[in-house]
Structure 1
């Protein structure tokens, strides 16, 4: 069974003082022994977060990266830059990147490849809209997003990804997929991973990322194919985030 992972995605939120607060709290926290923790903070806070988290169990992640190594791409950030300031994980294909910034499957694949090239672990985000779910296409859409990346990778590269299922209709809306709904998609993802490689299905961390909170985390994390959480709003509240971490132990 994969090691549980709780990853906090701050999105375009936070402050330097919040970074320091989290660093101190995580240094003092008595976390479950079998648990990985990560924080994905905005680009300006990465270096400060790297220092603040240095004495903790948490690792540093970024929220996206360019598919280019360098050049005249104003406003972009390269994987090499992320590595230099201490990031080890990076979100790729988050629904907000897909819908707000037009990143399609080919753009997501390019960013996954770039992350792998520089030694970052891509957290590949997958998810369906409410319309797609209501049309009965939810599983098909999610599996298609997975295949668009994995079909183009070498076998060894597939083993270096984390997968996060985040139903778009449950992000920032206050709605959450029921544990049964989330488990059904996670089980489908696990089956598809097994079709590539039995070892891939056994070892890949499958995270749930749709309004996971302190009061629903335990029930979601108890599902057999949910290995952790990609936490949004609750990751900005240290007590809530730590409670979710405890639920994963």
Structure 2
């Protein structure tokens, strides 16, 4: 099983989203069953995008969710709201959320717990800045993010549902710089080892993200410990994203 997950970030007006999905769903129609195709869209696009893709092999996911059911949290969206329109996936802890909106390993952990309680499959993002990488401390850094972000899940009812972890080195996001695929494979292998030590029976998949494009997708997806890709900018071009979705098939 390989995951192909698009993250539109703060892009695509509703009409643009539907135009994209018309082309994309046709392009990936009949794709092998061992690919999971997910696009995490802005909240304003979510309802109609989800309706449009219901009879297709494409799922719509969220880019964020709050860890509370409801309350005085202006501008936030709860997991219950996502569940009410049958959203099954949500990105949690993307580096841009950590950088610009003050998210921490603690809030990531709260969100992961709440998502699992609701049956929403979390896509948990981890990754290091360039300075950490240059100091040779990447494995130590991402291990700490995993241990803090995923702690305390053992007694949750849906712990054996999908838990997706995406390794996105911050220095490779939107920069055009791509982490060497062998190095990414090594980091992903370590992430898998740590996560499986914590939850041996959980259904854990480890993805790579960071300047993924059609030219490098096949090589990345061929690696033993890379179960899929989380795609940013390249997921905004339907033809490019179709190529990525079919890479290696």
Fold match by TM threshold 0.5: yes
> How many Å separate the matches in 2 of 1:51 and 1:150?
31
Match of residue 227 from structure 2: 227
> How many Å separate the matches in 1 of 2:149 and 2:159?
9
Secondary structure of the residue aligned to 2:60 is strand
Match of residue 194 from structure 2: 192
Secondary structure of the residue aligned to 1:80 is helix
Match of residue 41 from structure 1: 41
Task: Evaluate the alpha carbon distance shift between residue 224 and residue 141 of structure 1 in structure 2; reply closer, same or farther with a 3 A threshold.
Answer: same
CA displacement at 1:218 relative to structure 2:
0.4
Structure 2 stretches of 5 or more lacking a match? none
Secondary structure of the residue aligned to 1:204 is strand
Q: CA RMSD in A?
A: 1.6
> How many Å separate the matches in 2 of 1:145 and 1:58?
29
**Match 1:12 to one of 10, 13, 32:** 10
Provide Cα deviations, 1:25-67, integer angstroms capped at 9, x if missing partner.
2432342231110010001110011112112101110000111
Match of residue 135 from structure 2: 135
CA displacement at 1:244 relative to structure 2:
0.7
> How many Å separate the matches in 1 of 2:127 and 2:3?
19
CA displacement at 1:239 relative to structure 2:
0.8
Task: Evaluate the alpha carbon distance shift between residue 27 and residue 90 of structure 1 in structure 2; reply closer, same or farther with a 3 A threshold.
Answer: same
Between stretches 208-217 and 27-36, larger displacement belongs to 27-36
Secondary structure of the residue aligned to 1:81 is helix
> How many Å separate the matches in 2 of 1:155 and 1:195?
16
Secondary structure of the residue aligned to 1:60 is strand
CA displacement at 1:213 relative to structure 2:
0.5
Structure 1 stretches of 5 or more lacking a match? none
Match of residue 23 from structure 1: 21
More contact order relative to length (CA 8 Å, sep ≥ 6): 1
Match of residue 160 from structure 2: 159
> How many Å separate the matches in 2 of 1:18 and 1:88?
23
Match of residue 210 from structure 1: 210
Secondary structure of the residue aligned to 1:169 is helix
Secondary structure of the residue aligned to 2:215 is coil
User: How many equivalent pairs are there?
Assistant: 245
Match of residue 116 from structure 2: 116
CA displacement at 1:248 relative to structure 2:
5.1
The answer to whether the 8 A contact 1:26-1:57 is kept is no
CA displacement at 1:20 relative to structure 2:
1.3
CA displacement at 1:17 relative to structure 2:
2.5
Task: Evaluate the alpha carbon distance shift between residue 239 and residue 206 of structure 1 in structure 2; reply closer, same or farther with a 3 A threshold.
Answer: same
> How many Å separate the matches in 2 of 1:9 and 1:204?
20
CA displacement at 1:4 relative to structure 2:
0.8
Secondary structure of the residue aligned to 2:123 is strand
